[in-house]
Amino acid sequence: MFYANRCAGCHGNTGAGDGPMARMLNPQPRDLANHIWQEMTDDASLIKIIHEGGGAVGRSLSMPASPDLKDNPKLTAEVIQLIRSFKRRGGS
Ligand code: HEC
């Protein structure tokens, strides 16, 4: 699956920010299950950082852009839906 291949290495399979590459990053990716963050963050800003990368929104350059998703609204929507589903895990 797209997320497993391209995102989980840093963000972890459940979005907890515990992928094998995460410990080498500074700042580290946050826990995407965190309900406060989930409620603060709208889909448009998720789409922007995923399409354009952290650098485009003043965040860490370690968060890579996925420009190929710009031409693929269906896959973009699936990734957003997956990130939203992490909320159910609860987080901290
Ligand atoms: C090389 C590691 C790496 C990969 C691969 C990666 N990310 Fe990230 N991502 C990060 C880091 C580090 C941050 C935190 C940036 C910051 O806080 O400045 C981040 C931030 C984010 C955020 C914003 C969260 C917040 O704090 O507001 C989202 C959403 C996100 N990533 C989704 C994805 C998705 C979806 C993919 C796969 C298409 C992906 N990332 C791939 C490292 C990565």
* Mean pLDDT of the 81-91 span: 88
pLDDT confidence bin for 92, thresholds 50/70/90: low
Taking every pair of Cα atoms in the chain, the longest distance, rounded to a whole number of angstroms, is: 34
Residue 91, pLDDT > 70, answer no
Residue 90, pLDDT > 90, answer no
- What is the position in ligand 1's atom list of the atom closest to the CA of 60? 18
Residue to substitute in 31, 39, 63, 76 for testing ligand 1 pocket (most ligand atoms within 8 angstroms of CB):
63
Q: Are 68 and 52 in contact (CB under 8 A)?
A: no
Quick check: is 92 in a domain? Answer: no
Q: How many domains does the structure of the chain reveal?
A: 1
Distance from the CA of 35 to the center of ligand 1, in angstroms?
Answer: 17
pLDDT confidence bin for 88, thresholds 50/70/90: confident
Quick check: is 17 in a domain? Answer: yes
Quick check: is 23 in a domain? Answer: yes
Q: Are 28 and 22 in contact (CB under 8 A)?
A: yes
**pLDDT digit string, tens, across residues 18-71:** 999 999 999 999 999 999 999 999 999 999 999 999 999 999 999 999 999 999
Which domain, by its residues, includes 24? 2-86
